[in-house]
Chain A
């Protein structure tokens, strides 16, 4: 437990449950507006031809927009911006773990595709039992 134990003196002026400094309603409403706008954008870019950056580019755009949205939810709806740093530490540690987990698996699986293809090529019916040679 790394939390600093709050003393009565530092918090005596607050109602204890109110001390989390929540975002005001206006900030919450602005967050919702931004989230809906970003949803509109992420759908919209799929329909605009000149914004088509190809498979990889489009995936990155979608992920960046989703991450901005997620960050807004975390910072304001979940008010991490107003919380103790330890909350952000927990979250970031988790995300780094998840990214390492996914990234390493991805690297590994792509690495062995040639082996898989060679194995499949030996006998296509292994890969797709319904694919019988005529």
Chain B
């Protein structure tokens, strides 16, 4: 495989086109590029760490909000997106493997697959966002849910083996005022309490026992649920922006591959684009359990 001239000579012509004058040889240039990319990835990690910090502080103080609100998120869709992103990370790594061996057709195929994986991820994400928006599950003043957490009671019953309260169809005010009708009274007594003891009690929002009853109007019981969605949209949104940026990079790499830019052993851009894509994958690996799998 050696294409270098003997010791001390400049590298072969196929590399010299890419070799900048400040580097001794292509290997050194390549290592410097990778190291620089990792420094950039370090800033990306610290960027996300800011949002993870918000998450940590809010969850430490208000676990009940996370426990309540995560039921609005679809675990199957989240798991599907995790699998899609892991597979696209694998195709990207295989693309780098192919680039190192100058197998350009395989590289192009892997870049296409990676791009399709990113498309699939964003399609699922779009469906999730659309559902949230239609259900009034936004951040801040955009939080006005049309339904009590879907399947919340069923979810509780499933996880804790408790009986299922009747469908939450009665007016919300009835639950907090004096129980006027028999169904409401039944609901109030069957109120399912959550496993989380809130660390910070709202002024009057939480039950005196410190456990959150899942009653008819959980908004009045679990306050500030909109903050969960602010955190959810901020974290997944910033991640989504990174996915879109990654797609642009992959398209650019694909174009250069098809133009034959990586035919002669130079593949540094593929390597760096791959590192970026794997970082996007890692961020999602953390986001998925932290947002979807609270229990």
Contact = CB atoms under 8 A, between A and B. Distances in A.
Contacts of A25: 94, 97
B49 A98 contact: yes
B46 A98 contact: yes
Nearest to A117: B200
10 contacts: A6-B28, A8-B4, A15-B2, A17-B27, A31-B90, A36-B86, A39-B79, A49-B161, A73-B285, A110-B61
Contacts of A120: 202-203
Contacts of B56: 102, 105-106
A16 B31 CA distance: 10
Contact of B11 (A16, A74, A95): A16
Interface of A: 1, 3, 5-9, 11-20, 22-25, 28-29, 31-32, 35-36, 39, 42-43, 46, 49, 52, 54-55, 58-59, 62-63, 65-66, 69-70, 73-74, 76-78, 83-84, 86-87, 90-91, 93-95, 97-98, 101-102, 105-106, 109-110, 113, 116-117, 120-121, 124, 127-128, 131
Contacts of A59: 294
B17 interface: no
A1 B7 CA distance: 24
B93 A15 contact: no
B50 to A, nearest CB: 8
B205 A22 contact: no
A88 B62 CA distance: 35
Interface stretch (B35-43, B126-134, B164-172): B35-43
B8 A65 contact: no
B35 A87 contact: yes
A8 B25 contact: yes
B90 A32 contact: yes
B218 interface: no
A35 B93 CA distance: 14
Contacts of A63: 286, 289-290
A64 B67 CA distance: 19
Contacts of B260: none
B38 A77 contact: no
Contacts of A116: 200
**Main SS of the interface on chain A?**
helix
Contact of A70 (B79, B195, B271, B285): B285
Given A16-B30, A102-B53, A124-B203, 9 more contacts: A12-B4, A20-B100, A43-B75, A54-B195, A62-B290, A69-B282, A77-B281, A91-B42, A127-B202
A121 B200 CA distance: 12
Interface in B242-295: 265-268, 271, 274-275, 278-279, 281-282, 285-286, 288-290, 293-295
B104 interface: no
Nearest to A120: B203
A73 to B, nearest CB: 5
List the 10 closest pairs (A to B, CB-CB), nearest first.
Answer: A124-B203, A62-B289, A98-B49, A16-B26, A94-B42, A32-B90, A16-B27, A77-B93, A15-B1, A109-B57
Contacts of A7: 7, 24
Contacts of A46: 75, 293, 295
Given A86-B35, A124-B203, A128-B203, A22 B289 contact: no
Contacts of B282: 69-70, 73-74
Contacts of A76: 93
B63 interface: yes
B81 to A, nearest CB: 10
B87 interface: yes
A110 to B, nearest CB: 6
A87 B34 contact: yes
Contacts of A14: 1-2, 27
Interface in B155-184: 159, 161
B139 to A, nearest CB: 16
